[in-house]
Each structure stands twice: as C-alpha cells, then as structure tokens.
Chains A and B, each alone.
Chain A
Amino acid sequence: MNTDQLTLTFAALADPTRRAILAELRHNGEATVNELAAPFTITVQAVSKHLKVLERAGLIVRGRSAQLRPSRLQGEALKDAADWLADYRGFWEESFDRLGEQLA
C-alpha cells in the first residue's frame, strides 16, 4: 500500500468540515460546491479548499464540466484506510473480550 496516499487520506479525514462534506456526499450521491456551501455554515471559498484536499487524497472525484463540477465519493482511498484500520481489529476485539471477562 502506498504510505503517502494513506497519509493524505488520514490528513484529509482529520477535519470535521471535510467529514461533514463526505457525509453529505454519501447522503446525496453528488453535489456541487454551491450545494455544499450550506447556508450560514461554510463559504464557497472554504468548500473549494476542502474539496481540493479531498480530491488530492482520492476520496472524491469531480466532474469535468467547468462551471458546476459536481463532486462524488470515490471508494478506493476509503477502502485503503479501512484496510489499514482492520489490521488492528484483532487488537481491539481482544481488548473488548478481556473487558467482557472482567465484567462477567
């Protein structure tokens, strides 16, 4: 796995506004910058910056049409991040098992 890509992915995920944008895209499937700049929360300029970070991290793809360029989620980078976390699944499951034994 490309470590640099993983660094970009986790860095992109380390921001609550960007996670909110991803949640919105998961919900809507596709959205333009204007649609993501929710009234009274995020400016167009802020959304554009966040989308650049997400795009560079491979978490989203953007359409080609010059004006609207709708964004949508791209699965691969998320899968790589999830795979990385899954390597530790054994550890947390074991911890919970031990916790369970202590509480039993």
Chain B
Amino acid sequence: MEVVEHYLFTKEHEWINVEEDTATIGITDYAQSALGDITFVELSEVDRDVEQFEQFVSVESVKAASDIYSPMSGRVIEVNTKLESDPGLINRSCYEKGWIAKISIKDLDERSNLMIAAEYQKFLEGLE
C-alpha cells in the first residue's frame, strides 16, 4: 500500500498534511482499496468546528458506507466539491486530487497522537 512520506496518519486510515497552521485531510490508499469504488461523499459544512477523531464526513462505496474522522481539531475552511460529481477521484488519487477537507489547525501538539509514515506502514503490516 502506498503512503506519503511527510503526511501523518490515523488508525482509522485517514491522512493529514500539515502546512503551518492549516492542513489537508483525506483517506489512505488502504482505506480507498478496502472501500472499493466510491459512489458518494457527504462533505462537511465549511466553518464547522471539529474535534480530533470526531466523525465529520461519510463516504459511500457500492457496497459499504464508512465514517471519516478528523485527524486533528480545527475549523473546516474548504471542502473538495469536485467529489460531489466525481467521488471516484478518491480511488484514483487518494493522496492528492481526492482530498476531502482543509482545516485551520487548533492545536499542533495533537500531532503526537498521529502516526508518521513509517509507523503507519508498520501498523498496516500488522493488519495483514
């Protein structure tokens, strides 16, 4: 499974790319592969406050529905509206074009609750 070196990861298979005080959030290659063809994304509202590990988006595939949890606390500043008409973007480009939301970060220290790429890789190996 592909991971991105400088992203951080959750045990629920979300990724977050922190850039100064904002961050981009999506789901990992493992998650998109496990879900299969994604058919619908219920995006978050913009300006909503989310807590770390709070459910804030749901993703549906042909055969399953899954909750997505925010890897860090903050305020949603942008959502990827392209996913409304093309939810399969997540399958095709889960780490880039298929991003789900951007947040302004409340507390950078929360990063210590997340895994770095190497740790997430190890975590995935443990699941097999």
A and B from one complex: no
Residues of B with Cβ closer than 8 Å to A?
none
